Amino acid sequence: MPSAAHGELALFYISKLAWLLVQPSMLLVLLIAGAAVLFLLGRERAAGRLAIGAAVLAVVGGVLPLSTWLILPLEERFPRADLSGRPIDGIIILGGAEEARVEQTRKVHALNMAGERMTEGVALARRFPRARVIFTGGSTNIVLGPAIEADAAQRLFADLGIEPERLALESKARNTYENVLFTKALAAPKPGERWLLVTSAWHMPRAMGLFRKGGFAVEPWPVDYRTAGSADLLVPFYAPSEGLRRLDTAAREWTGLAFNWLTGRSDALLPGPKP
């Protein structure tokens, strides 16, 4: 068991560092920096090639709707669960929406672009007052000091009126794979129970694949859509930074889907709704 835990820790750090280097926005920086270094070394032709590569990436990834083409299939993959029929027994909210370091330092609530994970989670908790609520999220920082997402979430849920006796906080998970492991142990779901999974629509396929492989039957409740649907397929970005931000998000999800499938953590490359 200790060796397995050490292996998971090593894999976590390797994945974080690898993604830091290969994400599209960082690749753009590396291309520009490489071009500058080669130019200073007198290798103008090689520097020009890197500069052209950087320009192509900036235009295609930052202005053209490439990132929308990549993220839209993820967002459209899982519709929201039908809430009619049997009552909802539990609601699982994945972390990632909290700016835990800001909350910790400023002593204020701080949410990022995925903030709908929290607001929709609270809305569902009020809609189903007898359902258990589980939030799962630890610290994902590898350089800065630890800031636990669950601590920030606890304060937010309390201020929004979620009764503490309904709420369970999981504070060790560093990624979605660990979200599944630790949440299942905490929830101890019984046969026939209905559990909703609240996470970003573009993250839902990867999360559902992991939950299914982990033996925890959950129903999707996607939030945090980044597109308005197929109408955005031909819409360019007026701010290249926004296009690159979305490209980073989409590339990370597709990379994660491939990794989970190749390592056996998911049974499908792109999990979809069951019949």
Query: Average pLDDT of 124-137?
Result: 96
Cα 41 from chain centroid (whole Å): 41
CA distances from 108 to 44, 102, 156, 163, 188 (A): 51, 8, 9, 20, 33
pTM for the whole structure: 0.90
Q: Compute the half-sphere exposure of residue 47: CA atoms within 13 Å on the CB side of its CA.
A: 11
Query: Average pLDDT of 139-148?
Result: 67
Q: Residue 142: pLDDT above 60? A: no
Report residue 147's pLDDT band, with 50, 70 and 90 as the boundaries. confident
Q: What is the pLDDT of residues 216-243, one digit of tens each?
A: 999 999 999 999 999 999 999 999 999 9
Q: Residue 14: pLDDT above 90? A: no
Domain residue extents for the chain = 2-74+233-262, 81-223
Using the Cα atoms of residue 268, residue 271, residue 272 and residue 273 in order, give the sign of their dihedral: positive
> Which architecture does CATH list for 81-223?
3-Layer(aba) Sandwich (3.40)
Query: Average pLDDT of 40-58?
Result: 96
Q: Residue 1: pLDDT above 60? A: no
Give the per-residue pLDDT at 124.
97
| DSSP classification of residue 235 | P
The closest of 244, 255, 267 to 26, measured between CA atoms, is 244
Q: What is the pLDDT of residues 58-110, one digit of tens each?
A: 999 999 999 999 999 999 999 999 998 889 999 999 999 999 889 888 999 99
Tokens of 89: 């027994």
Cα 260 from chain centroid (whole Å): 14
Give the per-residue pLDDT at 144.
59
Report residue 45's pLDDT band, with 50, 70 and 90 as the boundaries. very high
Number of neighbours of residue 149 by Cβ within 10 angstroms: 26
129 or 138, higher pLDDT? 129
Give the per-residue pLDDT at 19.
75
Give the per-residue pLDDT at 163.
93
Q: Compute the half-sphere exposure of residue 140: CA atoms within 13 Å on the CB side of its CA.
A: 19
Give the per-residue pLDDT at 9.
63
